């Protein structure tokens, strides 16, 4: 039997359906009874173990009094959960305001991210984030402000208490630190401060580094999730963003390729202490 494809959309669908039910104040068994389903079916849906028909999702949303925009998102996810592979195109299948990645990021226990062009969103200053989002075509001032605000909200997870803040391991290319971006000195300051947090590791790949497989893959994020007993509640997922959308990968053999690339990057990057020293030196040049 071949794999049906990425489980990401149905996992997120299950999570959002559970949140909608809990917000409505309806218990699992009560919802199952009202929908004339078994408790086991409800559990499989909410844990992302099985695809769900769009018709069933619509029925659940009506029971939970979910807002129309959220119902649209959930029905879209239901349709995508049955596809062979999954490619999320912003503003087409799912409304622009909804970002599937944000939900996965918030649920992760460890986030490994490699960037070659820009500072990762979790570590961006508002000024730097504004410059980045304005590189998108036809973005309005209102959209840019919302995207910057979203980055700020995402960053709260690095200092949250419950559940425990995730571990953030970052590897960035030195070249991106030399770019002429507004507020770059302040951005490097933020990187230095962030690198001193107990749950954050920031390492830099120096300019004289060797070429690796990342020249093909580009930037990517590897998300690991909390364990329940001896097993992870959700499979490790790779997020790879492009110009027209984002690719979500959770097939074991494909994730393993990215894990090997990460291993190569860690062997070539400067240590945390060396990286911090380099950051201080580059910041002085931006202050000039």
239: left (phi over 0), alpha (psi -120 to 50) or beta: beta
Its pTM stands at: 0.77
Helix spans in the chain (H)? 8-23, 28-35, 39-46, 54-64, 68-80, 100-107, 126-133, 141-155, 174-177, 184-194, 214-217, 252-268, 272-287
- The pLDDT tens digits of the residues spanning 172-191 come to 999 999 998 989 999 999 99
Tokens of 138: 């036809």
Instruction: Provide the token pair at 263.
Output: 């291993």
Contact 100, 9 (CB under 8 A): yes
Question: In the sheet that 246-249 helps form, which strands lie side by side, from edge to edge?
Answer: 87-88, 246-249, 237-241, 220-224, 110-115, 167-173, 200-205
Residue ranges, comma separated, of all CATH 3.30.870 domains in the chain are 100-287
Region 100-287: CATH code: 3.30.870
Closest CA to 98 of 122, 71, 121: 71
Winning range, highest mean pLDDT, from 55-59, 82-86, 106-110: 55-59
pLDDT bin (cut points 50, 70, 90) of residue 5 is very low
Condensed to tens digits (0 to 9), the pLDDT of residues 45-56 reads 988 878 889 999
Q: Where in the chain is the domain with CATH 1.10.260.40?
A: 8-84
Q: Return the minimum-mean-pLDDT range out of 73-82, 153-162, 198-207.
A: 73-82
- Reference 278, options 208, 212, 210; nearest CA is 208
**Measured CA distances, 241 to 89, 123, 190 (Å):** 10, 17, 24
d(CA 68, CA 57): 12
Are β-strands 231-232 and 227-228 bridged in parallel, bridged antiparallel, or unpaired? antiparallel
Residue 2 has pLDDT above 80, yes or no: no
CB 65 within 8 A of CB 24: yes
d(CA 181, CA 119): 11
Q: What sign has the CA pseudo-torsion 65, 233, 105, 96? A: negative
pLDDT value, residue 115: 95
Query: Tell me, what's the pLDDT at 287?
Result: 73
What DSSP designation does 209 have?
P
Q: What is the pLDDT of residue 102?
A: 80
User: Distance between CA 133 and CA 194 in Å, rounded?
Assistant: 21
The answer on pLDDT for 139 being more than 90 is no
* CATH superfamily name and code, 8-84: lambda repressor-like DNA-binding domains (1.10.260.40)
């Amino acid at each position: 039997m071949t794999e049906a494809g990425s489980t990401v959309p149905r996992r997120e669908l299950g999570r959002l359906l559970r949140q909608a039910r809990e917000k409505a104040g309806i218990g699992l068994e009560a919802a199952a009874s009202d929908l004339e389903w078994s408790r086991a079916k409800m559990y499989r849906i909410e844990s992302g173990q099985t695809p769900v028909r769009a018709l069933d999702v619509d029925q659940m949303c009506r029971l939970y009094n979910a807002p129309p925009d959220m119902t649209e998102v959930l029905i879209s996810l239901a349709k995508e959960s049955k596809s062979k592979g999954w490619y999320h195109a912003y503003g087409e299948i799912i409304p622009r305001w909804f970002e599937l990645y944000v939900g996965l990021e918030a649920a992760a226990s460890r986030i490994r991210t490699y960037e070659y062009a820009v500072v990762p969103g979790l570590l961006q200053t508002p000024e730097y984030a504004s410059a980045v989002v304005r590189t998108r075509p036809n973005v309005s001032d209102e959209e840019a402000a919302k995207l910057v605000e979203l980055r700020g909200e995402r960053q709260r997870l690095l200092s949250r208490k419950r559940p425990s803040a995730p571990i953030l391991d970052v590897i960035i290319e030195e070249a991106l630190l030399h770019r002429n971006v507004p507020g770059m000195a302040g951005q490097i300051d933020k990187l230095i401060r962030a690198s001193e947090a107990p749950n954050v590791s920031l390492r830099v790949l120096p300019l004289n580094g060797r070429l690796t497989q990342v020249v093909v893959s580009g930037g990517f994020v590897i998300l690991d999730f909390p364990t329940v007993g001896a097993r992870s509640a959700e499979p490790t997922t790779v997020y790879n963003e492009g110009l027209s959308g984002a690719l979500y990968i959770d097939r074991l053999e494909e994730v393993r390729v990215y894990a090997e690339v990460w291993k190569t990057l860690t062997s070539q990057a400067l240590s945390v202490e060396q990286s911090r020293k380099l950051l201080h030196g580059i910041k002085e040049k931006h202050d000039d």
